[in-house]
Amino acid sequence: ALLMSFSVISSITFTVPRTYAASCESYILTFPAWYNGVVSGSPPNCEVKIGGGSDDAFIGNIVTIVLNIVEIILQLIGYASVIFIIIGGFRYMTSAGDPNGIKAAKTTIMNAVIGLVITLSAVAIVNIVGNII
């Protein structure tokens, strides 16, 4: 179950409009840089350009930046949920049959799973909204 959760979280991607040179994309671990989608040029001359003189381009770039930030936040929440599932499992194994320890461990696991489901639902909603915009 842990491997399935991790593989689902790691395969989550967002649909961000790609109107720039793909070689200027930047990722730190699996997190996108906030400026992905609003850079132009080619390495090493990549420049962040917010707006292209029109209001539509400015709003589109702001939406792209917000989607990048939302992606970072959702990835952090997903990773935290997996970590809490691991912590709950460890607490469950080390409870030594204590009913209060088992109950606390099950609560931790259940809350982490609920958080993971909410995060995956949020990813789906953001993907739908990103595709509409």
Residues of the chain with pLDDT > 70, as a percent, come to: 74
What local confidence, expressed as pLDDT, does residue 97 receive? 86
Predicted confidence (pLDDT) at residue 16 exceeds the cutoff of 60: no
Average of per-residue pLDDT across 107-114: 94
What local confidence, expressed as pLDDT, does residue 96 receive? 87
Q: What is the pLDDT of residues 35-83, one digit of tens each?
A: 777 777 666 667 777 766 667 777 878 888 888 888 888 888 888 998 9
**DSSP labels, the chain:** -HHHHHHHHHT--------S-GGG--EETTEEPTTTTSEES-TT--EE----SSHHHHHHHHHHHHHHHHHHHHHHHHHHHHHHHHHHHHHHHTTTT-HHHHHHHHHHHHHHHHHHHHHHHHHHHHHHHHHH-
Average of per-residue pLDDT across 121-129: 82
What local confidence, expressed as pLDDT, does residue 17 receive? 47
| Model pTM score | 0.67
What local confidence, expressed as pLDDT, does residue 38 receive? 77
